[in-house]
Copies of this chain bind each other. A is one copy, B any other.
Amino acid sequence: MTSPDRATAPHRGRPTGHTGSVVARALGVLEAFGPDRPALTLSELARHAGIPLSTAHRLVGDLTGWGALERDETGRYRIGLRMWELGALAPRGQALRETALPFLEDLSHVTRENVQLAVREGTELVFVERLAGSGAVPVHTRVGGRFGLTATGVGLVLLAHAPPELQEEVLAGHVERYTPFTVTDPARLRRILADVRRDGYSVSDRQVTDDALSVGAPVQDAHGRVVAAVSLVVRRGTAAPRALAPLVRTSARGIGRALTD
């Protein structure tokens, strides 16, 4: 499965609802950065954040002084290590990743296939970890990268267990098509989501690329809430979804158990 990063910065264009405040402007400066824009000049920052150069100068000074931004040898700004340190405290990011890693590594060792871990953020998913299997089908997922909820194994699990109103919001919106096999019909997607809830796993058959198949399973916390999803991504034809599902489900249950310890 190829899961290209979105070409835009995460949350780009998402209204903060506080456009007038200084905090919103500072956050707007940070939001100018994305996978496709890791380094920006001051004027690029001002343009992307939609603020005057003088304001950008002051905000960037504050953010750099604190370590949220760093200046590289070319004079351009990058996201600073301080942001990474703070981000490492996010329970749904680094903490989840560290708890899950031994289980993901076991799954990767046993199968030699691609293993992914994702959480839902609004109407999208965020990849929290990916382990590339040696010799497995190429996957271009990036840790910290976003993707839609309708086509991947992890996405279908997260969508199936999202609040009903969010499911309807996603199904009513534009459903991206990647291959001739991508399911975009809302009624068919609704049936697929019901199957995922009933079976305890999802199957994405050539829905993202026409050579890959992924099987996903939910990670549940102590209260039974689905907090993440795990998937195996394999070259289509090498293994039956039915054979992969117990492996993925066992791994997901192990992570859920470790989360509540």
**Which residues of A are at the interface with B, using a C-beta cutoff of 8 A?**
10-11, 16-18, 21-24, 26-27, 30, 33-35, 38, 59, 61-63, 65-68, 70, 72, 78-95, 98, 119, 121, 126, 143-144, 146
Contact = CB atoms under 8 A, between A and B. Distances in A.
A144 B84 contact: yes
Q: Which 9 A-B pairs have the closest CB atoms?
A: A87-B87, A88-B144, A84-B93, A84-B87, A84-B90, A22-B22, A79-B89, A23-B62, A79-B90
Contacts of A146: 85
A79 B83 contact: no
B90 A80 contact: yes
B85 A81 contact: no
A175 to B, nearest CB: 23
A90 to B, nearest CB: 4
B92 A81 contact: yes
Contacts of A34: 89
Contacts of A26: 23, 26
Q: Which of A21, A61, A90, A98 has the most CB of B within 10 A?
A: A90
Contacts of A78: 89-91
Contact of A65 (B18, B88, B89, B90): B18
B87 A92 contact: no
B81 A24 contact: no
Contacts of A90: 70, 78-81, 83-84
A85 B10 contact: yes
B66 A27 contact: yes
Contacts of A88: 84, 87, 143-144
A91 to B, nearest CB: 5
Given A85-B10, A89-B35, A144 B94 contact: yes
A63 B86 CA distance: 14
A55 to B, nearest CB: 11
B87 A126 contact: no
A174 to B, nearest CB: 22
Nearest to A33: B89
A30 B65 contact: no
B126 A81 contact: yes
A253 to B, nearest CB: 22
Contact of A21 (B17, B22, B86): B22
A86 B83 contact: yes
